[in-house]
Amino acid sequence: MGEQAYQPLRPARFEFIDIRGLRHRVALWGPESATPIVLLHGFMDCSLTFQFLVDQLPADWSFAAPDWRGFGGTESTGTSYCFPDHLAYLEVPLDRLTSAAPACVIGHSMGGNIASLYAGIRPDRLRWLVNLEGFGLRSLTAAAAPARYGEWLDQLRSKRTERHFVSPQQLATVLARRNPRLTLARAQFIAEAWTRPVAGGYELATDPMHRLLNPVIYRRDEAEACWQRMTCPMLLLLGEQSEYLPHLGADGTAARFRQIYQRLTLTTLPGVGHMLHHEDPAAVAATIVHFQSEQA
């Protein structure tokens, strides 16, 4: 590719914890702390790619970032994944990593969605939340359920495999081509974080079962009922060029967000898309630092 991978300013260290019988990898940055900021990655991502953002945030901040089940260095279930289960797999590490104190959380996409639901279910559990593009999905009607269950059953019959690559550089080339806002150095770092060596090359470090359709239809009214109970301050950070907001958040406009959330700071960053913390981590970090200073 002609460019070296991004070099971390503060490389991650790792620990492994058991959560409901699965061995989870947790990436750690900064000084040891009983109350680190918990970082929750998005779908098909892993904890390590928070590196760019961590490097732009204050050096005296501490972070703990678990990989969700079947992503990165965390064990897989070997079966299809039910979205509400993520709530149970968040509660345990929050208790262990933050000593049961009110937690500060930064979540991207799926991680932001899980965190915002949890913050409404357990209103006293979060001190503040930074939600990076975790704005929910478009609501589906009950009429969609039969076809959705049928498609899911059909997918279960098929063998699921992940795409193979000759090298992480091959994936990096794909990532940089798909997202022109991503530097080649960061694309290379992400590709190395997302892959693992196998016979004949590399594969994505992701359980293929994650690619199955979620058989349970999304009910936005249920999600909003949880969001409305959130009492902690939340920064909802959106990308001006987000690829997903027009499709998935079409019924969640800025005005609607302000109706739902009790203590909302809503900010749109110019020149970035859905992967805003990969594309412009400095701008994301500056916004987070300002938000955090207002909560002190």
Contact between 292 and 60 (Cβ < 8 Å)? no
Sign of CA dihedral 82, 85, 90, 93: negative
- Predicted pLDDT of residue 252: 56
Residue 249 has pLDDT above 90, yes or no: no
Residue 3 has pLDDT above 70, yes or no: no
Q: What is the mean pLDDT of residues 204-233?
A: 92
Q: pLDDT digits over 34-61, tens only?
A: 999 999 999 999 999 999 999 999 999 9
Q: Supply the pTM of this predicted model.
A: 0.95
Contact between 86 and 210 (Cβ < 8 Å)? no
- Predicted pLDDT of residue 195: 96
Q: How far is CA 25 from the centre of its chain?
A: 15
Q: Which two tokens stand for residue 23?
A: 């061995």
Mean pLDDT of the chain: 92
Share of the chain above pLDDT 90, in %: 74
Domains of the chain: 13-144+218-295 (3.40.50.1820)
Q: What is the mean pLDDT of residues 17-30?
A: 94
Alpha-carbon Rg for the chain in angstroms: 19
- Predicted pLDDT of residue 251: 52
- Cβ-proximal residues to 79 (8 Å cutoff; 6+ apart), any chain: 209
What are the E-state strand segments in 30-166?
Answer: 37-40, 63-66, 103-108, 126-132, 164-165
- Cα 157–199–204 angle (5° rounding)? 60
Q: What is the mean pLDDT of residues 88-98?
A: 90
Q: How far apart, in whole angstroms, are the C-alpha atoms of residue 69 and residue 74?
A: 6
- Cβ-proximal residues to 114 (8 Å cutoff; 6+ apart), any chain: 40, 86, 87, 90, 107, 134
Q: Looking at mean pLDDT, say which of 139-143, 183-187, 256-260 comes out highest.
A: 183-187
Q: What is the mean pLDDT of residues 210-220?
A: 88
Residues pairing with 24 in the sheet? 17
- Predicted pLDDT of residue 1: 46
Q: pLDDT digits over 109-122, tens only?
A: 999 999 999 999 99
Q: How far apart, in whole angstroms, are the C-alpha atoms of residue 267 and residue 283?
A: 11
Contact between 267 and 287 (Cβ < 8 Å)? yes
Q: How far apart, in whole angstroms, are the C-alpha atoms of residue 115 and residue 60?
A: 24
Cα-Cα end-to-end distance for the chain: 44
Q: At 172, which helix (H) or strand (E)?
A: helix 168-178
Q: How far is CA 99 from CA 92, 130, 254, in A?
A: 11, 20, 35
Q: How far apart, in whole angstroms, are the C-alpha atoms of residue 252 and residue 247?
A: 10
- The CA dihedral of 54, 57, 58, 61, to the nearest 10 degrees, is -50
Higher-confidence residue of 247 and 200: namely 200
- Predicted pLDDT of residue 138: 83
- Residue carrying structure tokens 């991680």: 111
What single DSSP character describes residue 62? -
Pick the range with the lowest mean pLDDT from 126-140, 221-235, 252-266: 252-266
Q: How far apart, in whole angstroms, are the C-alpha atoms of residue 204 and residue 206?
A: 5
What are the E-state strand segments in 150-209?
Answer: 164-165, 195-198, 201-204
- Residue 153: pLDDT band by 50, 70, 90 thresholds? very high
- Predicted pLDDT of residue 214: 86
Q: What is the mean pLDDT of residues 221-231?
A: 95
Q: How far apart, in whole angstroms, are the C-alpha atoms of residue 63 and residue 145?
A: 40
Q: How far apart, in whole angstroms, are the C-alpha atoms of residue 5 and residue 49?
A: 12
Q: Which two tokens stand for residue 40?
A: 């929750």
- Residue 248: pLDDT band by 50, 70, 90 thresholds? low
- Residue 69: pLDDT band by 50, 70, 90 thresholds? very high
